[in-house]
Amino acid sequence: MISYTGLFDLAGKVAVVTGGSGFLGKHFCRGLAEANASVVIVDLNAADVSAIVAEINQEHAGKALGLVADITQPAVVQKIVADAVDHFGGIDILLNNAAGKGQDLDLYFAPFEEYTLQQWREVMAINIDAMFLMAQAVGRQMLKQNRGGSIIQTSSAYGIMGPDNRIYEDSWYLDRQINTPAVYSTSKAAVVGLTKFLATYWAKNNIRVNALVPGGTESGQNEIFQHRYGARIPLGRMANAPEIVGAVLYLASDAASYVTGHCLVVDGGLNAW
């Protein structure tokens, strides 16, 4: 007899999470470990990676491996896969989650009319090029293993709809006025396109590929922004980071065994209006 709650158990599974020590990433890694998966945490900041690995291993001994790596480099991506396989024996889940703003926030938040091609390419290199590299390398490993797998790619509400720029007036984050630049929306829309392609491409191999589409999440924005954003949401507020984790666990697990090519939107109802 089927245990329906047991379908969510990730025991024996190995998950690779890029951007794994970031604001959302660390919550995803904790959730995967609590669901009994072994987790390979990939990110650029060595101190942050070490901290989340130590935290998870304290609660779930031996479940976390940290790798400090630049996933825009093909050779580095190949080594991530090799290290994960050497340490845990295979890869069953990829959470393609890393994203970036580049080195200069002034250039990142510049008006569209003044945006530089160099800045555009710098953001695209992490938001979509690295996602391609990770999906390619992990997908190749999943094909070799011949046991299927789940690939989850983090998009955004602004990858499926345009931003309401009125909410950014007098809105501050990271000690500066912010906006959603075109490069962000474009890269996150590309995530959806890549996801749908790979879902059909690898379906015959039982490799499921889905997109996680979170809405705005509280991470230090000022009250003006939170109020204006919340006014656009049927549930009346921004998300809290732990509220996104359940969607990841579902897509990673056998509970979603017949779900592929899907955009799982977790946005408080934003796209319903």
Residues catalogued as catalytic: 184
Pairing relationship of beta strands 172-173 and 176-177 according to DSSP bridges: antiparallel
Measuring CA to CA, which residue among 41, 47, 46 is closest to residue 28? 41
Rounded to whole angstroms, the Cα distance separating 134 from 1 reads 37
Q: Which two tokens stand for residue 228?
A: 């204006």
Rounded to whole angstroms, the Cα distance separating 205 from 227 reads 46
Rounded to whole angstroms, the Cα distance separating 134 from 80 reads 9
- What is the full DSSP assignment across 35-49? TT-EEEEEES-HHHH
Beta-carbon contacts of 18 under 8 Å, excluding residues fewer than 6 positions away, are: 25, 42, 43, 71, 95, 96, 97, 98, 130, 134
What's phi and psi for 93, nearest 5 deg?
Answer: -135, 135
- Whole-angstrom Cα Rg for the chain: 18
> How many distinct helices (H) and strands (E) make up the chain?
9, 9
Half-sphere exposure of residue 67: CA atoms within 13 angstroms, side-chain side: 24
